[in-house]
């Protein structure tokens, strides 16, 4: 059963919250990053880019120590405040036609180890160790793990009643997303939340597999160094944002490949014919309509690819997954791409207009062929995780994408 705990969040002062919170560091161009660091002294980016203050590039342990120093300065200058009592934090975002609402809380590394918190991606050991070392030095966690849970009437009722109250934060960011945060510190309500989650068998990681694995590794290190370990220390938990399954949004990644692995267009299509019924379409932009159906853009034309029946054994959740089918029928055997994570011949695109972008990149000559899929469903993610299998890289692009620096969990 899932264990969740309230925690004493470090969070921005209310009058500065819109200036403090940031997107993921990788989401900024170099120009954007430089402008924010230059003109916004309150941005959380100053903490994770501590060398800017000295006009110096820093890395490794030196950077980790400076991150800790910048964090302490934000506390000393009251850019950040620390809540006096443990709380849950209800967080809602709204943008255009998409809205979601979930709970910031502390989740258990024991649940992660025992597969109560379920994963569907592999992690890289070197990245786990690097981030665990980072956490061990900076002593805080500012990027929550995104997890889903089955819709639950008690939790839904608490969320509904809490949203009737005035939020502690209400602000809009330049991407036109409106953010709301409510603090839940009433003892009875917090106990109800804990009890409701204790009735839920599993939580599913949607985004943050490396953060979860690193938090587990850090807990192992800390336990080994602590002769008075009780299991209640902060390092036994990590910050997560839990949303109901009905409120997550999943997009597909397309695949763009730089060459045909020595094939001519004609020989490539002949090889495809073994696995697919192929039809050239007359549409300017063509997207697939159902599972095991792909669109392909090649040499100025879109094609529909329908997987031939009984060509592959669809005998487990991974084998039924379109990203895995594409890999097993085209990317590996025909195009010679074995390492989906590191092969430089393949790139991935996502977003509302990703088919148009795919066509544009191929028309420019930057890539030779592209494939588009229908989005993977939450049910498929759960089935893969329940079977303790692993999806191919870039199988899902999931929203919401969470802000850094909105709530911070001290270790």
Q: Are 99 and 176 in contact (CB under 8 A)?
A: no
> What percent of the chain lies above the pLDDT cut of 70?
99
pTM for this model (two decimals) = 0.92
187's CB contacts (< 8 A; 6+ apart) are none
Q: Pairing state of beta strands 117-118 and 203-207?
A: parallel
Segments making up each domain of the chain, as ranges: 4-8+82-249+399-410, 253-395
C-alpha neighbours within 13 Å on the C-beta side of residue 97: 2
Give the pLDDT score at 54.
86
Structure tokens that stand for 230 in this block: 């009780």
Give the pLDDT score at 12.
98
How far CA 195 is from CA of 55, 156, 161, 372, in Å, comes to 50, 13, 17, 43
Burial class of residue 399 (count of CB atoms within 10 Å of its CB; 0-12, 13-18, 19+): middle
Residues 90-111: tens digit of each pLDDT? 999 999 889 999 999 999 999 9
What's the whole-number mean pLDDT along residues 241-250?
95
Cα distance between residue 247 and residue 242, in whole Å: 10
Cα distance between residue 215 and residue 236, in whole Å: 8
pLDDT band (50, 70, 90) for residue 256: very high
CATH code of the domain made up of 253-395: 3.30.1760.10
Residues 346-362: tens digit of each pLDDT? 999 886 678 899 999 99
Give the pLDDT score at 352.
65
Give the pLDDT score at 55.
85
- Please provide the average confidence, as pLDDT, over all residues in the chain: 94
Tell me the Ramachandran region of residue 385: left when phi exceeds 0, alpha when psi lies from -120 to 50, beta otherwise: alpha
Alpha carbon distance, N-terminus to C-terminus of the chain: 24
Query: What per-residue string of b and e applies to 95-118 under the rule 16 or more CB within 10 Å gives b?
Result: beeeebbbbbbbbbbebbeeebbb
Residue 11: name the closest of 193, 147, 140, 151 by CA. 140
Alpha-carbon torsion 147, 151, 157, 160, what sign?
positive
Residues 322-342: tens digit of each pLDDT? 999 999 999 999 999 999 988
């Amino acid at each position: 059963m899932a264990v969740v705990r309230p925690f004493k969040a470090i969070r921005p002062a209310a009058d500065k919250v819109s200036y403090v919170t940031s997107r993921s560091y990788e989401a900024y161009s170099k120009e954007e990053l430089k402008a924010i660091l230059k003109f916004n002294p309150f941005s959380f980016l100053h903490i994770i880019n501590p060398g800017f203050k000295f006009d110096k590039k820093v890395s490794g342990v030196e950077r980790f120590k400076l991150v800790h120093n910048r964090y302490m300065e934000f506390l000393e200058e009251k850019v950040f405040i620390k809540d006096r009592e443990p709380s849950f934090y209800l967080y809602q975002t709204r943008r255009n036609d998409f809205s979601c609402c979930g709970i910031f809380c502390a989740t258990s590394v024991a649940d992660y180890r025992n597969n109560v918190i379920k994963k569907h991606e592999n992690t890289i050991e070197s990245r786990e160790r690097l981030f665990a070392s980072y956490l061990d030095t900076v002593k805080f966690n500012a990027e929550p793990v995104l997890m889903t849970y089955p819709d639950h009437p008690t939790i839904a009722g608490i969320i509904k009643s809490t949203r009737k109250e005035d939020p502690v934060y209400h602000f809009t960011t330049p991407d036109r997303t409106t953010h709301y945060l409510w603090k839940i510190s009433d003892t009875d309500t917090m106990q109800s939340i804990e009890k409701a989650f204790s009735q839920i068998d599993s939580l599913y990681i949607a985004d943050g597999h490396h953060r979860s694995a690193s938090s587990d590794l850090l807990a192992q290190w800390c336990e080994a160094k602590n002769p008075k370990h009780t299991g209640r220390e902060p390092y036994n938990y990590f910050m997560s944002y839990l949303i109901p399954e009905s409120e997550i949004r999943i997009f597909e990644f397309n695949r763009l490949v730089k060459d045909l692995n020595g094939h001519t267009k004609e020989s490539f299509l002949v090889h495809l014919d073994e696995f697919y019924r192929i039809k050239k379409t007359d549409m300017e932009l063509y997207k697939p309509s159902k599972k095991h159906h792909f669109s392909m853009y090649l040499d100025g034309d879109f094609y529909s690819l329908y997987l031939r029946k009984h060509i592959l054994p669809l005998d487990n959740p991974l084998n039924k997954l379109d990203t895995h089918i594409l890999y097993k029928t085209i990317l590996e055997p025909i195009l010679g791409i074995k390492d989906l994570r590191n092969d430089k011949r393949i790139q991935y695109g996502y977003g509302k207009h990703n088919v148009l972008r795919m066509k544009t990149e191929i028309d420019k000559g930057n890539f030779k062929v592209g494939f588009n899929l229908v989005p993977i469903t939450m049910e498929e993610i759960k089935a893969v995780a329940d079977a303790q299998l692993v999806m191919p890289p870039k199988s899902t692009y999931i929203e919401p994408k969470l802000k850094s620096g909105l709530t911070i969990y001290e270790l």
